[in-house]
Structure 1
Amino acid sequence: MLELITSHNELYDLKKVSLETLNKNCKDILRKDPIKIFNFINNQEASKELKGIFLKTICKNPELLFNSNELPTLEKDALVMVLKCDNLNMKEMDIWKRLIQWGIAQHKTLRQDVTKFTHEDFKMLKKTLHELIQLVRFHQMKREEFMIEVWPFRHLLPDNLIEDILRYYLISGSVPHSNAFPIRLGNINIKFDIKIDSVIINKRIALLLTKWIDEKTIVNKQSKKVIYNFNLLFRSSIDGFSSQIFHQKCDNKKSTIVIAKISNSNMLIGGYNPLYWSGNGYKSTTNSFIFSFNDFNDPQSAKLGRVTNSEYAVYCHNNFGPSFGHDLCVPNNSNNWQYHKTSYPNIEVPNSFTISEYEVFQIVKR
């Protein structure tokens, strides 16, 4: 498919559909063979849009590329393309470790133990990594990390860069002169303070939900504090399962999260609606999603499904509770919910299940 859409300019409609498919499924596609794909788009005259889709996915999920056993076969130009990204969600120290791993793998004669390197070994590795080292943001590392992980390889760094880094670490208020890049996303220390009154989820899951809602962006500061309030609007153990009461309490509130616990299990299901619940019929949005947790004690068990058919993203009706398209249906005065995959990806829950409790929160970020 990639060969087809990069080599035939006349297939405009096919390209458009293919790019849309890639954009929705890029993470799953990259899981199969990330190194081969990145080498391919690096060697082809691929469109900026095509490269952008893959770069965006890798920047959000760098482990797909950097944890691959095939990383040593990633071409140098492709690695340069990734390391130039400001929004790469990876700590600089982890980038450095992978870079050293990649460089050593390019030379079969090099040993893993740097203490056994000869002058010629350093010279050979420095030549291989010279261009890539210029893209590492050493000033964004902690000084302890630098001394432990980078200093043993100091012979790879230009003298003026080492001097600049040491001055930055040792002199208060010093400004970097070499490799002075913007703060990379992975190096931003974001502190979250979440206030939530829930009988279903803890702050750990609440934080994951806010990350799904709020795409992280580059900021100019090295740290910031974001406060999220989960304002409880509705709880079935207090308010019952009446759809009318749900609408009375929630209709005039935007940005709501619905969270439900499936009876006799550790499973959770829910969704996010950025719109109001008032009205009668389907509502369109590209920002809604549904989700499930196979085990609420394990955030890694989460399945996220962002809306694919935006025209049927949310369903509002006084005789139904918080319903998401045709997919998640909440009948009036009933804790028996229905799930059918139509407007969202499959989140792997039964087609019919019983709810023991559900809550609705308005998410407010301050």
Structure 2
Amino acid sequence: MSATRPEHAPSDHPRVPRGKTGILLANLGTPDDYTYWPMRRYLSEFLSDKRVIDYPAWKWQPLLQLIILTKRPFSSGAAYKSIWNHDLGESPLMTITKAQTEKFRESMTALYGDQVMVDFSMRYGNPSTKSKVRAMVEAGCERILFFPLYPQYAGATTATANDAFFKALMEETWQPSARTVPAYFDNAEYIEALAQSVETAYGKLGKRPDILVVSYHGMPTRYLMQGDPYHCQCMKTTRLLKERLGWADTDIVSTFQSKFGPEEWLQPYTVEEVARLAESGKKDIAVIAPAFSADCIETLEEINEEIKESFEEAGGESFTYIPCLNDEDAHIRALTSIAQQSLSGWLD
């Protein structure tokens, strides 16, 4: 909507853009480049987040800044380089998020016209949540729907994304009304999109895999004991997917990847479970990662390289990675439906 002069304001009052509803998609983030300093900045921001690593700062920060961040940017940078979109000079997560946002914008515009403004932000790195909230306020958004692209809620993902959003609102003189989209792990259209991706992948294979490994990002078991619902929501996601596919319990297994640090994390660990499956005679497996809305370092490099290697070294023969939902039409339809529900009362 165009800028207008507030009602009853004097004739010399500046015009103010108002009336829009912003919808801000949010994902984890990505380094600006895979070289040392961009990687170090990104990892420092990520690993300094108390939602991610909750050790006391006096104990964690010296270890992080003096030891971990002198070495890890090199190894992480090499991993990013192996999957980098060199044509566009960005990570696959950035490329896919842009494509998702464009399709989602088209879908929302078809429903609501110019009443909505759709954009995306990253919790770590660029574009920052703060910069996108500022842009929406400047564009006249009186309401903002914040949409973390995490199907399952976790403190280290959904909550910290919301933290960044609320912190950005704290710096606005004229705050817009705000809503956040809750976890959508049990949304029927999301489950349908997952099931269709499995059916499509299986339909292209000459032989049906012996088992589908549903790999979720891990977290310390301690977080579960403290009340984080992530593990329960992951388990329900797998159950709903299994029921939609009409499969037996033996056709599917849930695992957890990306363990970091010395303490116990949610188990079974994906990298160990795929090796165990191979040793037990499951020579042909498929892997899907429902907790990720877009393919990223954890799927393209960790699953498709490290975890695949663990499976093959243990005697596995055929490894199929089923891509994330990314910008598939069924995924965009699910995100659109979820956003519509959250916009009820604002836009109908």
| TM-score interval (norm. to shorter) | under 0.3
Give me the TM-score of the superposition, normalised by structure 2. 0.26
Give me the TM-score of the superposition, normalised by structure 1. 0.25
Structure number with higher relative contact order (C-alpha < 8 Å, ≥ 6 residues apart): 2
Q: Which has the higher helix share?
A: 2
